[in-house]
Structure 1
Amino acid sequence: MKFLLLLLPSVLIAQNWSSAMGPNSNYQVEGDAPIKWSLVRNENIKWRRALAEAGQSAVIVWGDKLFTTMHKAIESEDQKMAVKDVIALCLDGKTGEILWQKELPGLVTIQLSSGFSDGTVFSPLCDGEKVWFFNRCGQMACFDLDGKEIWRRSFKPRYMHTNRQAEPRIEGDAILYVEMANKKEEYTSLGKKDLKKKKEFSQNREFWTYIHGIDKNTGEILWRDKHGITVHSNPLVNTLKNGERALVEVRGGPHAPVEGPAGLTLMSLEKGREGEAIWTKDFAHFVQTNLHWNSEFIPLFAGEYHYTLNTKDGSIFKKVNFLKNVILHKSDEPSKETDLQSKKNKPATYSTNILVGDDHYFLAHASAHLGKINVRTGSVEYLELPAQVIPGKNSRSEDQFKNSIKEVKNIPINQKGFAVGHKGHNTAGFGHMQSASPILVGKHLIFPVVTGTVYVIDTTKTLEKGKALVAINDLGEAGRTWTLSSFTYSQGKLFARTMKEIICIENKEEVNAKK
């Protein structure tokens, strides 16, 4: 009961999942999700819908309708390196039947289903009256829920490096969207390897990317932030103790982003103050780009340290080394204090993390470990996980596991059998090619990694002896499955998507018991 009392102020029971981050913009809801399933064994699978082409956006839910995107189907594998057009989809949530689809042409090409992203990386939005779809290659469009077009907006994006997790969301009448300020041809046509021009252009802040507030009813730009944001940053929204709506944006990181200085800004979303800094804090080391936070604390990783910042002024409340003298738990061995290693010149974690109460959960970078840091006490724990599940065809007791991320070999394919992935697909999802954001439903964390292995964690249980790990599930055949999409939840069902299909997961025993 203590757990529920702690979470009720920040999470709601989910009937609709209106953005990739859910109805509360924090990937968290109350509810009772299925915790065990298998696509290989058709265990607790309500339906599957094959997709003509790969995609990475999450499945958005409103009532009995689902919304997502995929790339326009390629006809041969050699076309995978240069795609630009996206298909918006509306499906029947009860059956998976495609109800309608619309094309969103792009203006620049991108690699299909890259290990970081592609043109479908941004998930749709829905408010019950309208639905908005996004093509990272240069278009967004608004429709009513029956597919009638309301407006379109085309623009040419800067393509120095692939966007990752900068998911759009609705705040008031504005869609929050990350794009470059000045889209003149000289800027948008800059090649990724033209470092001399990049350095020259970066002196002009019009070349930077910013959060834009776009009118959800017209597609017009209402405002933009004043500080800049790296394209990898996923600016998460929350409410401060004084009731003010705000978000955290990050600058800096790998591949020499032009926005600076490196650090983070707590930015106001209050009407009349949109885009203004509440405070800004610089960090010399890489700061992971997907910052989950609450009204009191902002936890983050920089170098080999975990910081807990006060939301009031950005001051440091707690700083701990999360690699030295940590507690390591294993399912079959006693817990022990030890040091963990990170890869040379690489941070120990990237973006796959979530804050649940006072506990900051994350996937490690160099090994198959789930980390947990208490933001108040600074305690650091890890649980060793199997790196991948090899699902048995007949029962869960036949499941086998690869224990090291070095053992994982993946050749994911699309519905036509093309090996369309370009980078990072032959990984376990714990390293440089990080996995999608987890979600929290009730007390259970749903942690997918790129191979289609999904860990379910009970946040009310200790990591000791692996007690918190309640299930390891699959989204398809090992070695031929790939996903970079977060789960979504609505009315007792989970929705997932892989390179091949959309999947509806439902606890069949509970459904049968209610009949």
Structure 2
Amino acid sequence: MKVLFKLLSSYLLISLVLLSCNTPQKSSVLIAGSQNQWPMSGGPDGSWKVKTDLKVPTKWSVRTGENIKWKTTLPEGGQSGIAVWRDKLFLTINPPNNDAKYSDVLSQFNTAKAAYNLLLNSEIERLTKKGDAGFYAVKKALILPEKEWNAVLEKNKHYQEASAIEKPAIAQNMMRKDKKGKAYSKALESYKSYIHKKSNPLNVAYKSYQKAIQAKKGGASSADIILMCLNSNSGDILWSKTIKGTVSSQYNYGFSDATTPCPITDGKNVWAINASGGMACYSLEGDLVWERTWKPSMGGKPFNKQFDSVLFEDLILNTEPPVEGDTTRHANWNYLHAFNKNTGARIWVTKEALTHYNTPILGETKDGKPAVLIGRGGPHGVPERPVGLSLIGLSGENEGQALWNWEPKEPNEFSGWGALSTQHWDAHKASWFYKGDDHAIINTVSGALISKKPLNVVNQFNFDVSTGKHHLSKNVSLNHHQNQRHCNISEGENLFYMVRYSPFIARHNVITGINEHIEMPQEINEDGSFVWRKDQKNDGLNAKGQLHALDARTRGDGFQKCFLGSPTMINNYIYFTNAIGLVYVVDANAKTFDASAIVAVNDLGKKGETWSVNSLSFANGHIYHRTMKEIICIGNN
């Protein structure tokens, strides 16, 4: 009885807290004059959430032109959000170049491959007829290593469950580490080398073939990015400026690239951040006000970041390593730096570090003071410690100082994945994801853990193709549940996010712990009907037909392994965008998260030819979105 009373008391306490934080208040982090504008990545107050009395577009199609006001072809791809202020619109792209169209690259590859294979088979036939002892020796030495390596791949669950796009990279990585993989690689190299050294024409053809293989992979890189200004009413390009960087960056990497940070505007100037190490301020007419460069930390790779732009009053917040000569901070760690927006001068640097995968969010504390939440931890050797959260004050004596720090008890391998999140919080609670299975809420007054609940036992609404309806399966236990931590948003006591590798959107009640997953269609047919449970692909090409997206994972099924853009919430509608350019609109207020919660499924371009890891913006009564190929204005009003 005592246990039941304590549980009920805790539930009522947290419920009252959540209800109190839903009471509308004037926000101290709102950018002045930004109502119905989109001045930075997360909108007027950086939360990715807005309330409006304007008509909000929920249904459209770029393929058919339905509810599309205009669209403008982009000279190159990019990943930034879209900042809008009245008749001006800003975004960043990678620098265009004159690389060949991918169709020409493929043609050259096929020619080189055919020429090489013809000579290779001819040489193998010649050596076989000759009875070459050396050839038979290397051929025999290859049999057992190849057999053993194939057995390793057959037994590896991660490899077998991966998509066809991911398998080559996984196998290559395994081969470098696995003893039998190394043995097979060595034997294969000996076999090829012996054949090649017996024929000079074959050797020449092999070099041409290898060059064609590299070209076929695609890719481009640059240290610089391009800031573009468009007319928000027509889509006409008004001006473009180069934002210098210091370290060359791969275009359109699936985990963010140099163009990731959204431009910022206050209606007077515009600021652009180049994640490869640059920042600049321009007037709205394109006149340079100031610029600076910096060198990204290579301690936690990749150096390009999921971190997005933050503007608070006269401060621009950015993640960078310490300034040169700073002996109080770790040289290879990243910290939150505040710069004067008018001069570019550095004002303060936090003592607490954050990873560059982390996207801080502005907000207000319980007593109405502005603050920003940052996190540390994650995969691939990110060095910043301790794993966990810090709430950084933005006013008075607490400006740039930690109000509290929270550190999970579990090791980084399990707990640090929360730092990959868009760091949503409110005056009473903060969100933190564990690797796959659990989610925690942290008290944002004290920095103490409130509760931790599992995410992998779910009420799953699966689509039945035979009946054409969703059907409920209760208490489904998911193994290796993968949540898109960066593609999440909180509203009241509910947390919403996309599921990785499976076409579901999830709703998690942080109080009751109830998880609801609803299956989403994976494509739209020409007649408007949906495609269910069939993996999709996209070509990864830019508008000029060039393959500058080297990372093959960008060409997956939409729910693949990449950093999708943060969802945007307009009134009670949440807009999720997947990698093949489908935008799912769901009703956050739905009583049950079933088919009734699906408001619309929209497209951003042609089937198989669209890629996006971007967040949409809402301004001037329109939705603005982008893909690798174009920028789009949605809403004909």
CA change 1:39–1:501 in 2 (3 A) is same
Residues 137-148 of structure 1: pairs in structure 2 closer than 5 A: 137-148=276-287
Look up the SS of the partner of 1:47 in the other structure.
strand
Task: Tell me the alpha carbon deviations over residues 451-500 of structure 1, each in whole angstroms, 9 at most, x when there is no partner.
Answer: 10110011222344410101110000122111111000012200001101
Q: 2:460 aligns with which of 300, 319, 328?
A: 328
User: Considering only aligned residues, what root-mean-square deviation do their CA atoms show, in Å?
Assistant: 2.4
Which residue of structure 2 lines up, in the alignment, with residue 55 of structure 1? 78
Look up the SS of the partner of 2:331 in the other structure.
helix
Q: 1:488 aligns with which of 611, 614, 617?
A: 617
Structure-2 separation of matches of 1:127 and 1:340: 47
Is 1:310 the counterpart of 2:310 in the alignment? no
Instruction: Give the TM-score normalised by the residue count of structure 2.
Output: 0.72
Preserved CA contact (<8 Å) 2:586 2:598: yes
Which residue of structure 2 lines up, in the alignment, with residue 282 of structure 1? 407
Q: 1:441 aligns with which of 570, 573, 588?
A: 570
Report deviation, 1:118.
1.7
Look up the SS of the partner of 1:451 in the other structure.
coil
Which residue of structure 1 lines up, in the alignment, with residue 237 of structure 2? 98
CA change 1:7–1:60 in 2 (3 A) is farther
Structure-2 separation of matches of 1:121 and 1:401: 30
Moved more, 443-452 or 155-164: 155-164
CA change 1:371–1:268 in 2 (3 A) is same
Preserved CA contact (<8 Å) 1:56 1:483: yes
Report deviation, 1:426.
2.1
Report deviation, 1:232.
0.3
Structure-2 separation of matches of 1:100 and 1:472: 34
Q: 1:72 aligns with which of 78, 90, 95?
A: 95
CA change 1:10–1:499 in 2 (3 A) is farther
Moved more, 284-293 or 213-222: 284-293
Structure-2 separation of matches of 1:249 and 1:371: 24
Structure-1 separation of matches of 2:611 and 2:365: 37
Report deviation, 1:347.
4.8
Preserved CA contact (<8 Å) 1:142 1:152: yes
CA change 1:122–1:153 in 2 (3 A) is same
Moved more, 330-339 or 464-473: 330-339
CA change 1:155–1:340 in 2 (3 A) is same
Look up the SS of the partner of 1:226 in the other structure.
strand
Residues 175-324 of structure 1: pairs in structure 2 closer than 5 A: 175-182=316-323, 205-283=330-408, 284=410, 285-288=415-418, 289-303=421-435, 304-324=437-457
Is 1:350 the counterpart of 2:475 in the alignment? no
Moved more, 426-435 or 104-113: 426-435
Look up the SS of the partner of 1:430 in the other structure.
coil
Instruction: Give the TM-score normalised by the residue count of structure 1.
Output: 0.88
Structure 1 unmatched ranges of 5 or more: 188-200
Task: Tell me the alpha carbon deviations over residues 334-364 of structure 1, each in whole angstroms, 9 at most, x when there is no partner.
Answer: 3231334344xx8544211001122110111
Structure-1 separation of matches of 2:558 and 2:383: 27
Report deviation, 1:174.
1.1
Preserved CA contact (<8 Å) 2:258 2:304: no
CA change 1:479–1:355 in 2 (3 A) is same
Aligned residues: 480
Which residue of structure 2 lines up, in the alignment, with residue 370 of structure 1? 505
Q: Percent identity?
A: 32
Q: 2:273 aligns with which of 113, 134, 139?
A: 134
Which residue of structure 2 lines up, in the alignment, with residue 111 of structure 1? 250
Q: Comparing both structures, which one devotes a greater share of its residues to helix?
A: 2
Report deviation, 1:10.
7.5
Task: Tell me the alpha carbon deviations over residues 25-64 of structure 1, each in whole angstroms, 9 at most, x when there is no partner.
Answer: 1000113321111111011110011111111111110011
Which residue of structure 2 lines up, in the alignment, with residue 34 of structure 1? 57
Which residue of structure 2 lines up, in the alignment, with residue 197 of structure 1? none
- For 1:167, the aligned partner's letter is D
- For 1:327, the aligned partner's letter is N
Task: Tell me the alpha carbon deviations over residues 297-342 of structure 1, each in whole angstroms, 9 at most, x when there is no partner.
Answer: 1122113111121111122223211112x21123524323133434
Look up the SS of the partner of 2:285 in the other structure.
coil
Q: Comparing both structures, which one devotes a greater share of its residues to strand?
A: 1
Preserved CA contact (<8 Å) 1:74 1:80: no
Structure 2 unmatched ranges of 5 or more: 1-18, 101-214, 464-468
Which residue of structure 1 lines up, in the alignment, with residue 309 of structure 2? 168
Flag the structure with larger Rg.
Answer: 2
Structure-1 separation of matches of 2:258 and 2:340: 22
